[in-house]
Structure 1
């Protein structure tokens, strides 16, 4: 089993479909950097449960009903001696796919975290994860905390969107995400640019929109979708 190149992109397309990087159920690979290969195996059970073994250590995992397809070996940080295991699971929908990351320190298998995709991992300890949001890709950043053996999410106040649409029904842009004071009203037939998004834990996504007159204001996601044409809606 070859270690994935640090430049390999694992996106919403299942990684096991990518040439030369198909997940396996067993391998011999040096995970803890001691110069000796470790025996790694993955056994899938019912309901998404699985058993992951590395060396003499065993971990019981749960993919919450997803089909467990196997694992690949990744190197999230080429500056340290360790390599990581990426367990691939497949859900009923693309949004349900999950990738579970584990480390092995020579004594125990340690869960690092799970993500929807490993969109970009260049071996610098940073993982970028894309999530489809209806007409744009939300990109989240994670960093590998080696001392804590965790993949840590780096929060963003706003997410970059960068799409254009045509107004089919005029709608207001408010001065703030939470207020109701109107800054401007978009003109029917004009072009607007969707620059950024605010994604709350609960509630409607709010979008920062630039009007054809150069004014910046906020609009709820449902209003934006219903009032414009040309957004690259898919999925």
Structure 2
């Protein structure tokens, strides 16, 4: 499986794509504190209200059902209505919480089954949601966006993260000082040394669960077509032309 994956990556030049816009009616719409909307598909509007509390806590009420939430100190600005799966009868609520910087923003998703309010999960952003039960979330990683996929499990009323071994990167850089490409992320053996002044393609990333982008391992294709791994700190230090920002 790993061999075939590397073969695919080595045969393609990937280019970074700008993050897709959010679904209409999602995180880019102005949030509200109250609304009447049919969430459970029974043809009758449900009274929805959101009451922010102290330290990021909030109360979400749909009809007679209530749920408590906690945005961990963020300001809770309100909710919008989304439809994660247009193939079923339900719509969802997206509670917006705003942090000091964009990376601290969180969005909390809730469903309503006609009896109770169901916490579906939370995401850092709602980058793309086309109504097929799939949510794509982009996180800025210094010079690329890590794209994660979440799938709605309607039976369990949960939005579940779909794991990826590697994340697509797709940027190009110029080597300003030669650096080695390791054969693996666990050993010290070197498959190639990049040539000063040559172009390299950063194809994919292996992200530690809580590591910052300096600690990420990157799969790089050299100008001679060889694949190997390099740490993020070395990649940034020994190349130029990466779309660094923020």
TM beyond 0.5 = yes
Are 2:220 and 1:220 aligned?
Answer: no
Provide runs of 4+ in structure 1 moved above 6 Å: none
**Corresponding residue number in structure 1 for 2:202:** 194
Contact 1:8 1:121 in 2 (8 A): no
**Corresponding residue number in structure 1 for 2:8:** none
Q: How many residues of Structure 1 are paired with residues of Structure 2 in the alignment?
A: 223
**Corresponding residue number in structure 2 for 1:93:** 101
What is the 5 A alignment of 1:172-187? 172-187=180-195
**Corresponding residue number in structure 2 for 1:64:** 72
1:125 to 130, 133, 139: 133
Distance 1:60 1:113 in 2: 13
| 1:50-102 C-alpha deviation (Å, 9 max, x unpaired) | 11000110111110000101000000001111000000110001100000000
With over 3 angstroms needed to count, the CA separation of the structure-2 counterparts of 1:114 and 1:202, relative to structure 1, is closer
| 1:123-178 C-alpha deviation (Å, 9 max, x unpaired) | 00000000000000000000000010000000000000000001111100011111
The alpha-carbon deviation at position 115 of structure 1 amounts to 0.3
**Corresponding residue number in structure 1 for 2:241:** 230
2:36 to 28, 31, 48: 28
Are 2:112 and 1:104 aligned?
Answer: yes
Are 2:154 and 1:146 aligned?
Answer: yes
Distance 2:153 2:176 in 1: 47
Structure 2 counterpart SS, 1:226: helix
Contact 1:10 1:117 in 2 (8 A): no
> What's the Cα RMSD here?
1.6
TM-score (norm 2): 0.88
With over 3 angstroms needed to count, the CA separation of the structure-2 counterparts of 1:125 and 1:195, relative to structure 1, is same
2:165 to 133, 141, 157: 157
**Corresponding residue number in structure 1 for 2:12:** none
Any stretches of 5+ residues in structure 2 without a counterpart? 1-19
Contact 1:117 1:130 in 2 (8 A): yes
Are 2:86 and 1:74 aligned?
Answer: no
**Corresponding residue number in structure 2 for 1:43:** 51
Are 2:22 and 1:9 aligned?
Answer: yes
Structure 2 counterpart SS, 1:189: coil
TM-score (norm 1): 0.92
2:217 to 164, 189, 206: 206
Structure 2 counterpart SS, 1:100: strand
Distance 2:98 2:177 in 1: 40
